Amino acid sequence: MSDPYTRSKFGTDTATIAVFDPAALAHRCGDDADWWSIPRDEISEINQGNVLFVGLGCDGGYEVDIYQNIGESECPSKFVSANVRVLSGCIYIGAGEQVPAGDFGPETTYGGTLIYAEKGTIEVRIYSPESGKLIVEYCSTDNEAKNDFKVSPAL
């Protein structure tokens, strides 16, 4: 495995990682902070390609290695993958509770990171090689920013 493109940490009280371009969720800024805890709203936004939420199984601190290409690390058989829309050229990777809501956007003071991503659609792959450790890989794709999840994705 090569050196990580970016290493980040975050803590979550919702046992969830989120990957999104804040501009793609700007329409949620006025919503209640827990809008995404409503399954139909969460799945709708994932399937529209505006965000990828992935359940982690437990709250706590996570270290994340972020690769700018799919396949740069040794991916196990269990992972979550989705297409995500990039409008601004920047994506947030961190705690689910940092999604735009209540007139606030993501805050990296509490962990997570804002990172460059080419405008358009990216494919994102997330997996956990060990407890407390996550790998996020992403790359540009010509695919549409649409997904077909029936239930919330989880590791």
Q: Can you name the CATH fold of 6-141?
A: Substrate Binding Domain Of DNAk; Chain A, domain 1 (2.60.34)
For the chain, the domains span: 6-141
Which percentage of the chain shows pLDDT scores above 70?
Answer: 95
pLDDT in tens, 85-143: 999 999 999 999 999 988 777 888 879 999 999 999 999 999 999 999 999 999 999 99
pLDDT in tens, 50-95: 999 999 999 999 999 999 988 766 767 789 999 999 999 999 999 9
State the Rg of the chain over Cα: 14
CB neighbour burial string for 44-65, b if at least 16 within 10 angstroms, e if fewer: ebbbebbbbbbbbeeeeebebb
Q: What's the predicted TM-score (pTM) here?
A: 0.93
Residue 145, pLDDT above cutoff 70: yes
* Pick from 77, 131, 143, 138: nearest CA to 113: 138
Q: How many CB atoms lie within 10 A of CB 76?
A: 10
pLDDT at 33: 85
Q: For the chain, give the number of residues.
A: 155
